[in-house]
Structure 1
Amino acid sequence: MKLTDFEYIAMEALIINAGKTVSRNHFMYRFYDNPCNKDIKIVSVIICRLRKKLGRHINGHQITTIKNKGYSFLR
């Protein structure tokens, strides 16, 4: 399965921090050297693409939205 660079970076951040909430700002700083001029909505788009490509459940895990905080990779 092919992932874009941003999708790969996002998935890596979720796996490394499995069970913890990864903030949108954390993703932005992983995506860009200087995220100040970038639209934070890109994080939601990338997570949406990941869910479509990988399915909501990955080996018993799922990418979960933590309202107003970020995303988590939970069992």
Structure 2
Amino acid sequence: MCGFLVSCVSGGFLTSVVGKKYRKGIYTGEMLFGVPYGQGKLVLPDGTSYDGGWRSGEPHGEGTFVVADGH
């Protein structure tokens, strides 16, 4: 697997900004303990995407979900 990783410590927790495969798509954004947490974007192979808040690896809070046909 290829990707990139930038890590920092914030509030005593190790957080990361990554680009990696996640759930059959590409996730770019913040991670905590190896799962999406904070702000990030997931793009699936068909072009469907979610860009927004994440918590414990799941979309959480405000975000934008766009299906492959552009809606």
TM-score between the two structures when normalised by the length of structure 2: 0.24
More strand by share: 2
More helix by share: 1
Q: Which has the higher contact order (CA 8 A, sep 6+)?
A: 1
TM-score between the two structures when normalised by the length of structure 1: 0.24
